Structure 1
Amino acid sequence: MRLKRFFLRYYPPGIILEYEKGGNLRTKSIDLLDLSPQTNPEELVEEIRQSEPLITESRADQVKQLILRLQQKQGQQDHHRFCFFKELKAHILPLTNVAIDKSGSRFITGSYDRTCRVWDTASGTELHTLEGHRNVVYAVAFNNPYGDKIATGSFDKTCKLWCAETGKCFHTFRGHIAEVVCLAFNHQSTLVATGSMDTTAKLWDVETGEEVATLTGHTAEVLSLCFNTVGDQLVTGSFDHTVGIWDIATGRRVRTLIGHRGEIANVQFNWDCSFIVTGSMDKTCKLWEAVSGKCVATMVGHKEEVLDVCFDLSGQLIATASADGTARVYSATTHNCILTLEGHDGEISKVCFSPQGNRVLTASSDKTARLWDVHSGVCLQVLEGHRDEIFSLVFNYEGSKDNTCRIWY
């Protein structure tokens, strides 16, 4: 093995090694999830050297400089205030979901008008209209970090794979017997997973368009799913109150997480794949060990259904959104509620962390999105202007039932 070059990953902090083995270029990640501005760089370099044979003594100073750059980025203060840039008359019927590529240069919107549209973020101009579905386009995703492919899931029971550059349809994945309501690419961009109202999830080969596996075992609709970063497992959440962990290689369910007393609203792995968080209509959020399937904590406090849940990129914090009109931030280590974010006048359907993890963005039926400080719980900004409820967002823009998408910088 011969080390070729380094790449930096700011969020979550890490160093990517590109190396040559057997004539082929490969990559591996050194995750630095516990890195802080107070970390001693020399000591950390020595720890890395002991566990990673590609980091020889001659490379130690390079690694130290990369660590210092990561620490410098962490030390930068974020006082950014978002300014409204543009409202896009995105579709003739309400939007369903939005997604953004990793660079932030393009985003996509799905709609009840049966199309998905690709947009340039900087100018707000439409790049492509992806047509071909025969019913609502409900789920949309880029194959991040590559960003060269798009997957769309529809109420017409199919999923389509598109070229993000040209808008050409590569494949139509057929096999579900009910609506496709969730989907995801694995991090290696070799597979697409789809979840359906037919109680199954399916795995599809990105290159060939063939079905790889059908994941059966749930007794009600599969409403959420997520690959781990390694790409060897998929987690699914169902209206049958259970969560399934599936082995990608065999298509078998290796764990069933039982404990919720209501439908599962969302599921997510943390970055290092050690834990899974679930939010449920039973008003709780649960934290599970990914390997054993053991429930290590039940986080309570919401008075109504938990509609969304997510980790920050470091895996240290968990955010929840609820029909009670509040969002909460919990510690993933102590499992205590750190903050209750109050201010919305309607249910909160979506929540997400900024890449840095110091901000939370919420979307509500009160027609606003709100930006919150994770450390103080203070509402930093109210993003107004929509004329109907907001039910989808990412950290650069949000989508609304009023058929528009508003971009904020």
Structure 2
Amino acid sequence: MNSTGDGRFTQPIMFASPRLAWELIERIISHSGDDRRTLYSFSLTCHQLRPRSLCLMVADVDIMDRAQVITFRDFLEAYPHFCPFVYSIKADPTTFMPFPLLYILPNLTNTQWSSPATPQPLGGLSLPLPLLTCCHKFGTNITSLSLVSLSSKTTQELCRVLLAFTAIKDLRCERLGIGGTVANGAVLEQRLRSQRLKLRNINIGYNVHETATKFLFDSAQSTVEILSLDITYSIISGPSALLCGKWPELLTLTLTVSTNQDRFEALIKISKEFHPSRLNEVSVELRSTVGDLLSWIGSDEGNLHLCSELDQTLLSYRHPQLLPFGHRRTRSGRKDLWSEEFAKYFPKLTERGLLKIASSADIALGHDDLVTALVYSPDGSRLATASRDCTIILWDSDGQLVHEWVAHTGSVRSLAFSPDSRHLASGSWDRMIAIWDVGQGSRKITTLKGHTEQVEHCAWSPDGTLIVSGSWDNTVRLWDTRTFQQLHLLDISTNDFYHAYFSFDGRWLILIGSHRCRVWDVGRGAMHINFRIAEGEETEDKAAIDEENEEDKGEGDEEDKDEKDEKDEDARPQCCAAALNLQGTCLATGYVDGSVRIWDVQTGQCLVFSRMHTRRVTVVAFSSDGTRILSTSWGDTPKILDTYSGTMILSLEGHTGGVGAACFSPCGKYVASASSDETVRLWRTDDGSCMGIFSEHKDAVWLSAFSPDGKTLSSGANDGSVVMRHIRDIIPVEDTSV
């Protein structure tokens, strides 16, 4: 019993929920305001959080079909106290019911009309007059209107929509099509003015037809104070021609542009010619990713000149700024890295502090785009990762960042350590292979030039005397690491190159493509064998495959044979994954039809055929002893197969998304798999049990690797994040020894 202090007693309250301060409630809700799933959970689990959560959940409503509109109307009629909390509605104009929604929602100020999926055919804004009349009567509180993924036959239809919302101050258009013009355009413009439609803010997003843009600019330029124009994908023949006239009230201009020569030239022309008297702030946002921007700058000397010209012309405005990341943010701690890099191309803006790079609150280290390569040094002391953002990061054996740098002017596609772990080779879409001394920092030793298309792969020979590189220019090149001169040029003649592997003794170089495997004798500098690895449906019989390869050997001239292959191989299932065993004697290949084959590298004989997957194979890998093969598929579970028979030993069930990466541990006792479900899993190979599920990543995971000593497991994801885990924290370290 509890005493009240006056001699009376009350029954104790059991299981009472804690009372939270209103300040704490507001902070919790505000922090999660953009996550509907979290708000929904709050509303179901916490009595105190429920009211505020529900209010935020109804503040911004999507009702894209008739059933949702009716359900939402019935909800508001049953719970009218929620009506004042509805501020924004996104709806399909063809199913929206302005009455009674506009009538019963006193604080509704923001409306977005959008098609439910792809842009509607012409006529999407051909709305009945009663609907527009109702919007005109009850939509007087609507001050912000967005038109997205819609189209109209003429500007007259667009004009009718604008006349229905006479109070709008902010207008945003995106993916807006116009079929044509009308003869009485001047009359429509005058009518808009007579209705006192005075836009203050116009935002023209991408894929807005030039006719619609010109109509809006001509109608509202006398009142607009804030203007945003995306000239990246806009259907505009001459963006600079649209920005003409006096624009007497314009204070702020934002231009969004892609890394395209024509658009950059238009941007520079606008900067030179468009100077309204009151214009104060001008922002230029580059829509492309940082990797695409650097690739574009490095692809042509003329693009570098355009950057220099933009660097100069923007300074003609009172308060300009350049945002090379657009609305995107770099990782915390990388701001200085990118500022230093872009200072090379925009030195004047950088010097004046007008190059703006925003960093996120995420303190996790990593790249700013997809991780494209992840490799350990042979001695296990370093991990190197590369990204589509053109950077390389070196990590120590504890997962701490050692050094990071912008390595190329193109996506870095491949990394390879030298056998002594002192040097790193990187292949890039800028058509270069760079050699780095990573003993102390990241000093560039040299650049290997010669490829005319993107470099997709590079590797060191076991003795460190050779580097092999493969490119989409249909060539494989061998380089001498003492002189860094090209030793051999192997013309594949068809766009068929995927990967190159040296045998463990360095005698053979195995070149694996989507249709053929070529074995190069490194010592003799000649082709040893060339056999077909992509076959038709009827070749599940290994004897049929071997017979066809025997016919290839007797077909005579190599060029004639390759020309014949080009004509008939497109119809064959392509090889999309490959791996060589440590001994260099067997090749495993995976195919788009879900099958896996094992080949004798020296003879070209097909040893095993297996079809354990129903969709494209993403990875094949040998265990260290070569007795088992790991295969993964985009739409199936990872499988462990017997190398000699092709029979399935284990199926590793658990991932809920496609598996894009998998590997054996050096000891062969474990398998790591990475998936689009944003997790990495660790499995035992003796019974298929899952030892751990790791959810550190917040995006699809495409790469995973064990260190050579098996003590750490690292992974890289689509968002650029890199995670290293110590196996000792998961299982006893003695179980992972090689």
Same fold by TM-score, threshold 0.5 exceeded? yes
User: 2:593 touches 2:614 (CA, 8 Å); kept in 1?
Assistant: no
Instruction: Give yes or no for the alignment of 1:126 onto 2:401.
Output: yes
Instruction: Name the counterpart of 2:489.
Output: 214
Q: Using the alignment, how far apart are the partners of 1:221 and 1:173 within structure 2?
A: 22
- SS of aligned partner of 2:638: strand
User: 2:533 touches 2:575 (CA, 8 Å); kept in 1?
Assistant: no
Deviation sequence 1:128-180 (CA, Å, 0-9, x none): 23434111111112124x21111111000111111121211112111111111
Instruction: Name the counterpart of 2:694.
Output: 383
1:221/1:333 CA distance change after superposition, 3 Å: closer
AA paired with 1:214? L
Q: How does 1:309-320 map to 2 (within 5 A)?
A: 309-320=620-631
TM-score (norm 1): 0.75
Instruction: Name the counterpart of 1:6.
Output: none
1:256/1:333 CA distance change after superposition, 3 Å: same
1:218/1:364 CA distance change after superposition, 3 Å: farther
1:251/1:405 CA distance change after superposition, 3 Å: same
Instruction: Give yes or no for the alignment of 1:89 onto 2:365.
Output: yes
Q: Using the alignment, how far apart are the partners of 1:259 and 1:107 within structure 2?
A: 33
Instruction: Name the counterpart of 2:721.
Output: 404
- SS of aligned partner of 1:342: coil
Instruction: Name the counterpart of 1:227.
Output: 502
AA paired with 1:285? V
**CA displacement at 1:249 relative to structure 2:** 2.7
1:251/1:367 CA distance change after superposition, 3 Å: farther
Q: Using the alignment, how far apart are the partners of 1:266 and 1:204 within structure 2?
A: 25
Q: Using the alignment, how far apart are the partners of 2:444 and 2:676 within structure 1?
A: 34
Instruction: Name the counterpart of 2:351.
Output: none
Instruction: Name the counterpart of 1:115.
Output: 391
Instruction: Name the counterpart of 2:252.
Output: none
Instruction: Name the counterpart of 1:5.
Output: none
Instruction: Give yes or no for the alignment of 1:202 onto 2:519.
Output: no
**CA displacement at 1:281 relative to structure 2:** 2.0
User: 1:353 touches 1:360 (CA, 8 Å); kept in 2?
Assistant: yes
Can you give the 5+ residue segments of structure 2 that lack an aligned partner in the other structure?
1-362, 535-571, 707-712, 727-738
User: 1:281 touches 1:305 (CA, 8 Å); kept in 2?
Assistant: yes
Instruction: Name the counterpart of 1:295.
Output: 606
Q: Using the alignment, how far apart are the partners of 1:223 and 1:271 within structure 2?
A: 19
User: 1:283 touches 1:304 (CA, 8 Å); kept in 2?
Assistant: yes
AA paired with 1:273? G
User: 1:325 touches 1:345 (CA, 8 Å); kept in 2?
Assistant: no
- SS of aligned partner of 1:277: strand
Q: How does 1:257-296 map to 2 (within 5 A)?
A: 257-260=531-534, 261-296=572-607
AA paired with 2:659? I
AA paired with 1:223? Y
Instruction: Give yes or no for the alignment of 1:363 onto 2:674.
Output: yes
**CA displacement at 1:393 relative to structure 2:** 1.3
Deviation sequence 1:294-314 (CA, Å, 0-9, x none): 111112111001111111111
Q: Is the deviation greater in 182-191 or in 255-264? A: 255-264
User: 1:105 touches 1:121 (CA, 8 Å); kept in 2?
Assistant: yes
Q: Using the alignment, how far apart are the partners of 2:595 and 2:604 within structure 1?
A: 17
Deviation sequence 1:108-143 (CA, Å, 0-9, x none): 110122121111132x33222343411111111212
User: 1:181 touches 1:195 (CA, 8 Å); kept in 2?
Assistant: yes
Instruction: Give yes or no for the alignment of 1:244 onto 2:518.
Output: yes
1:309/1:218 CA distance change after superposition, 3 Å: farther
AA paired with 1:397? S
Q: Using the alignment, how far apart are the partners of 2:448 and 2:461 within structure 1?
A: 16
User: 1:264 touches 1:279 (CA, 8 Å); kept in 2?
Assistant: yes
AA paired with 1:151? A
**CA displacement at 1:218 relative to structure 2:** 4.9
Instruction: Give yes or no for the alignment of 1:334 onto 2:334.
Output: no
Q: Using the alignment, how far apart are the partners of 1:134 and 1:378 within structure 2?
A: 44
1:274/1:94 CA distance change after superposition, 3 Å: closer
Q: Using the alignment, how far apart are the partners of 2:598 and 2:383 within structure 1?
A: 31
Give the alignment's Cα RMSD to 1 decimal.
Answer: 1.8
Q: How does 1:143-182 map to 2 (within 5 A)?
A: 143-144=418-419, 146-166=420-440, 167-182=442-457
**CA displacement at 1:282 relative to structure 2:** 3.0
Deviation sequence 1:227-262 (CA, Å, 0-9, x none): 1101011112223x2222222234433222314233
User: 2:367 touches 2:719 (CA, 8 Å); kept in 1?
Assistant: no
Instruction: Give yes or no for the alignment of 1:140 onto 2:415.
Output: yes
- SS of aligned partner of 1:97: strand
Deviation sequence 1:307-326 (CA, Å, 0-9, x none): 11111111111111111231
- SS of aligned partner of 1:108: strand
User: 2:608 touches 2:645 (CA, 8 Å); kept in 1?
Assistant: no
Q: Using the alignment, how far apart are the partners of 1:218 and 1:320 within structure 2?
A: 30
Q: Using the alignment, how far apart are the partners of 1:138 and 1:297 within structure 2?
A: 31
Q: How does 1:38-49 map to 2 (within 5 A)?
A: none
Q: How does 1:23-38 map to 2 (within 5 A)?
A: none
Q: Using the alignment, how far apart are the partners of 2:594 and 2:493 within structure 1?
A: 21
AA paired with 1:119? W
Higher helix share: 2
How many residue pairs end up in the alignment?
321
Instruction: Name the counterpart of 2:382.
Output: 106
Which gives a bigger RCO, structure 1 or 2 (Cα 8 Å, sep 6+)? 1
- SS of aligned partner of 1:140: strand
**CA displacement at 1:88 relative to structure 2:** 4.4
User: 1:351 touches 1:363 (CA, 8 Å); kept in 2?
Assistant: yes
Q: Using the alignment, how far apart are the partners of 2:584 and 2:382 within structure 1?
A: 28
User: 1:236 touches 1:267 (CA, 8 Å); kept in 2?
Assistant: no
User: 2:392 touches 2:407 (CA, 8 Å); kept in 1?
Assistant: no
Instruction: Name the counterpart of 2:615.
Output: 304
Percent identity reads 28
Can you give the 5+ residue segments of structure 1 that lack an aligned partner in the other structure?
1-86
